[in-house]
Amino acid sequence: MTTREVLIFDTTLRDGEQAPGNSLSPEEKLRLARQLDALGVDIIEAGFPAASEGDYRSVRDIATEVRSPVIAALARCTERDIELAGEALSGAARGRLHVFISTSDLHMREKLRTTRDGVLAMAREAVRRARQYTDDVEFSAEDASRTDPDFLCRVVEAAIEEGATTINLPDTVGYAMPAEYAAMFRDVRERVPGSDRITLSAHCHDDLGLAVANTLAAISAGAAQVECTVNGIGERAGNAALEEIVMASRVRGAAVAFQCKVESREIYRTSQLLSYLTGVFPQPNKAIVGRNAFAHEAGIHQHGMLQNGLTYEIIRPDMVGIPHSTLVLGKHSGRHALERRCQELGYQLTGEELATLYQGFTALAERKREILDEDLLALLHESFSDAPEEFQLSHLRVVCGSVTATAEVRMTGSWTGERSARGTGDGPIAAAFAAVSEILERQLEVVSLSLRSLTPGRDSVGQVFLQAKIDGKSLTGHGASTDVVEASARALVHALNKARHADKLEASSLNSVYLWGV
C-alpha cells in the first residue's frame, strides 16, 4: 500500500460542542481554535452560524483571527442558513461552507417529511447557493450509512455537479460496521462520475465503540478527509477521537497507510485545554489522553522491572506532549522560574497573564509546599480569564457540618465599595452561592458541579467545575483552591463574570442546543 495524505477536519467546536455539558462561549471557542491551529489540523469546523447568535459570532471571530487552517461553517440546505454561514465566513483567509441534508428514508420521512426528489432538489440548490460564497463547498449526506445506496449515489452525483469539492458520508448514528462503511466509500467512488475529482470524507460516531475503526476503514477505501473531535467528544457517544486517528498513523503508519500533518506533541495540551474549558475530563482509561493511558503512571515503575518501555507501551508519553510530573516550584520560586516552567509546558504568557498567574502562584505556595506541573496547569487555565473580572470575592466565611450551613460573603464589583451578604443552605457550597446570589441580585441555578483533586496529599489543590443557569443563561465556571468551598465560590464568580460579559455583548443566546447535525 502507498501512504496517502489525509486531511484532519476537526469538529470539536461544532459536533463536539453541541453535546450536553460541552457548551463554550465564543471567547473560549476562539482560544480553542488557536490551539487547534497549533495542533496543525487542516480544517476547523468553527460552528453552525444559524444555530445561535453566539455561534455566528464565534465563527466570524475564528475566521478573522485564525488564518492557517481552513475555517468551515455548517448550514442546513436553506437560504437563510447558507447566507448566515457565508457572511460569518466572509473574513476568512480560506472559508468552507458545509451544507448537509439527511438522505436516509427514515430521516427523510420522520424528520424532513419530504421525498427523495425533494431532498435531491434541496441539495442541488444548496450547493449552488453555497458556491456563491466560496469555491470550497462540502456536502454531507446525513445518515449516509443507513441510506439506500442508489439514492446516495444520485445525491452525491448531483452535489458534485453543482460544485461540491468535498463529499462527506457520515455514520450519523454510529450504526456501521467497518466492512460496511468501507464498502459504501468504494461503492460511491466506483459508481459516481466525478468522484475521483473531489475529496471523500468520513465522519463517524461511537455508539457501538467503532468510530475510529470505521474511520480507518473509510481511509483504506479512499476517504482523504476524516472528521473527528479532541477527546472524542460529541453527540451521544461522541465522534471519532482525533488523537486516536493521528496516533494510529504514527504508531502503525505502514499498516494504516496514511499520514497527516498534525503535530502530535500538541495533543495532550489540546486535550487538557478542552477539558479545562468544559470541565469534562476523559475517563482514566481513555486512549492516548486518559490519566492511565500510559503505563508509566501505574505501579509499574515501582517494580523497577521495565528494562524497555516498549514492553508495555506502544507510545512514548513525550510523543503526545505529556509533561513529566516532577517537583518544580515552591514558595521561594521567583517570577522568572515560573515563566520558564510555563514556557517548558508550552505556554507563552503576556506580561499581564504572567502577573495574574504569579499572584495565584504565590497564594498557592503559601498553602502548598510543592507546586507540581498539574497545579501549575490548573492555575494557568484559571488565569486565562476570558471575561473581565468585574466581580471579585474578597472574603468568605462558612460554618457547616451537623448544623445548617451559613456563609458570609464579601465581594467587590463595579459598585462603590464592597457588598456583603449572609446565606444559608443545605451545605456550605449552597450557602455560599445563596450569599453571592443575594449580593449580585441574580437568579442562579447550579446545573452540575464536580470536583477533582489533582495531586495527592492533605494540601491538594481541588478544581471545581460548575455549570450554572444565570438569569436563564447556561454558563460554565471553574475555580481552584485548597479549600473546596472557596474553589466553588470562585467557580461561581467566574461564571458570573462571564454572564456579565455576555450581557454586555448582547449575545441573545450563547449556548444553543440544537437537533441538527451530521
Q: 125 to 154, contacts with its own copies by CB under 8 A?
A: none
Q: Which range binds its own copies by CB under 8 A, 26-34, 87-95, 236-244, 497-505?
A: 236-244
361 is a contact residue toward its own copies (CB under 8 A): no
Q: Which range binds its own copies by CB under 8 A, 50-58, 90-98, 290-298, 375-383?
A: 290-298
Q: Which residue, chain included where needed, has cell 454510529?
A: 174
Using CB under 8 A, pick the residue from 86, 232, 321, 360 that binds its own copies: 232
- Closer residue to its own copies, CB minimum distance, 147 or 172: 172
Q: Which amino acid is at 36?
A: L
Three-state secondary structure of 72-117: EEEEECCHHHHHHHHHHCCCCCCEEEEEEEECCHHHHHHHHCCCHH
Query: Minimum distance between the CB of residue 391 and its own copies, rounded to whole angstroms?
Result: 16
For its own copies, the binding residues in 395-424 under the rule CB under 8 A are 395-403, 405, 407-408
- Angstrom CA distances, 324 to 321, 355, 368, 370, 379, stand at 9, 25, 19, 15, 17
CA distance 30 to 59: 9
Q: How long a stretch of residues is the chain?
A: 518
Burial grade of 364 (CB within 10 A; 0-12, 13-18, 19 or more): buried
Residue pair 277/233 in contact (Cβ under 8 Å)? The answer is: no
213 is a contact residue toward its own copies (CB under 8 A): yes
316 is a contact residue toward its own copies (CB under 8 A): no
Binding mask 58-97 for its own copies (x = CB under 8 A): ----------------------------------------
Q: Which amino acid is at 283?
A: Q
Q: Where are the alpha helices (DSSP H) in 162-210?
A: 178-191
CA distance 483 to 466: 16
Q: Which range binds its own copies by CB under 8 A, 123-131, 176-184, 187-195, 498-506?
A: 176-184
Using CB under 8 A, pick the residue from 252, 324, 335, 504 that binds its own copies: 252
For its own copies, the binding residues in 36-55 under the rule CB under 8 A are none
Size of the site for its own copies (CB under 8 A): 116
CA 73-243-66 angle, to 5 degrees, is: 35
For 12-42, the DSSP string reads IIIIITTSTT----HHHHHHHHHHHHHHT-S
For its own copies, the binding residues in 418-477 under the rule CB under 8 A are 425-430, 433-434, 445-453, 456-460, 462
For its own copies, the binding residues in 190-209 under the rule CB under 8 A are 206-209
Query: Minimum distance between the CB of residue 16 and its own copies, rounded to whole angstroms?
Result: 9
- Closer residue to its own copies, CB minimum distance, 165 or 481: 481
Q: Which range binds its own copies by CB under 8 A, 48-56, 306-314, 334-342, 413-421?
A: 306-314
Direct distance between the N- and C-terminal alpha carbons of the chain, in angstroms, rounded to an integer? 31
